[in-house]
Amino acid sequence: MAASNLTVGRVRGIPIRLHVTFLLVLPFFAYIMAEAYFDRGEGFPGPLALVWGGALAVTLFASVVLHELSHSLTAMRYGVRIKSITLLPIGGVSAMERMPSEPWQERRIALAGPVVNFAIGLPIVAVTRLELIPAIVPQFDTFVGWVGWLNVLLGAFNLFLPAFPMDGGRVLRATLAARMGYDRATGWATGIGRALAFVMGAFGFVMLLRGAGGGIWLLLIAFFIYLGANEEERMVGMTTRLGDLTVERIMTRQPETLSPEATLDVVFDRMLATKHLHFPVTEGDRALGVVGLTDVASVDRSTHPTTRVRDILKPTFPALPPEAPAADALRKLSEGQDDMILVLRDGRLEGIVTRTDVARIVQILGAGAG
């Protein structure tokens, strides 16, 4: 787990994580909601208003988790592995190992999140509009009403904004892919997303110039959408170029390896000589783990002559069989923290795939196609 994330629970084996920046902005959201919905105009919101604002902020982000869980559980029905769900200040992210290749499956996965929000929000809005909630606590009906409206807004924002990485962008891509193919559909959907990001960014900039507080949020969302569209287009383009290639075709054979008995000063000298930052650790041809520069640097330099590789190696590491699609290596390297994948057959090391390997293969294939 990345040091910037805190795991707070698991649902169906899916880790639910909070990014540390989320913990920093949660009090800010609580204050904003207290002032907007529960303050009685007495200046700084009172303690009771802050409690209600905090409860509403927590409930909103709980709705985001339910939204992402709905995506993830639907994806799992189609054999997609979910690595984690991470809660960020601007929403949630489900880290899926891949998206299904069938457009109708991607569409169902994308629709699942907003459907859950509408299922929560619309009945609550209807009940509060009909004043069916007894006013036992003066601010309770306000709290319940905004839980409903925020869920409706969350579902609508994700569904009706046709831009990656929002759900509307994936629904649009899946709909177009059924008619024009995955690559062209991605190009159209990401192009629309970038155009929408520019429009939102322009509005946000004008709002900032006029002193409107929402301008900065609109700019952040526009930036998020623009990056998401570019990343989706880049990943689909690279996956398309890799085509039917297997990991065996792109791996580096007979890579430099380390013995578990090697000392860290030997490892450091090997890094200087080869310019490599990561090494597989093997005993014979059996892979035992991986050692990288950060592992070596975490050990006091004065102990390098006596510290051995076996003392610091990471026994868990990303690995693929030689016959796996090369696109799987691309996904693992793009989504994870690791820079190297070991290629194993029955536990024996046959090669490695690095980010540089994939980038160069894609570049060569692109030149060949041109």
Q: What is the pLDDT of residue 75?
A: 92
Q: What's the pLDDT tens digit per position in 307-324?
A: 999 999 988 888 999 999
Report residue 260 as tokens.
């578990």
Whether 50 is covered by a domain: the verdict is yes
Same domain, 211 and 346: no
Same domain, 27 and 147: yes
Q: What's the pLDDT tens digit per position in 263-289?
A: 999 999 999 999 888 899 999 889 999
Whether 73 is covered by a domain: the verdict is yes
Specify the pTM.
Answer: 0.74
Residues 6 or more apart whose CB falls under 8 angstroms from that of 192 comprise: 162, 163, 169, 172
Query: What is the extent of the structural domain holding 212?
Result: 181-242
Q: Could you give the number of structural domains in the chain?
A: 3
Report residue 106 as tokens.
């991607």
Annotation says 350 is catalytic: no
Same domain, 18 and 131: yes
Same domain, 203 and 231: yes
Q: Per-residue pLDDT averaged across 40-56, rounded?
A: 76
Q: What is the pLDDT of residue 1?
A: 44
Report residue 237 as tokens.
């383009």
Reference 60, options 20, 13, 28, 96; nearest CA is 28
Of 160, 195, 225, at which residue does a domain stop? 160
Q: What is the pLDDT of residue 134?
A: 63
Cβ 239 vs Cβ 319: under 8 Å: no
Q: What is the pLDDT of residue 305?
A: 92
Same domain, 62 and 208: no
Whether 15 is covered by a domain: the verdict is yes
Q: What is the pLDDT of residue 6?
A: 80
> Among the options 68, 106, 232, 248, which is catalytic?
68
Whether 284 is covered by a domain: the verdict is yes
Output the domain CATH number for residue 337: 3.10.580.10
Give residue 327's pLDDT band: very low, low, confident or very high (50, 70, 90). Answer: confident
Reference 309, options 339, 280, 338; nearest CA is 280
Same domain, 22 and 139: yes
Same domain, 123 and 156: yes
Cβ 165 vs Cβ 230: under 8 Å: no
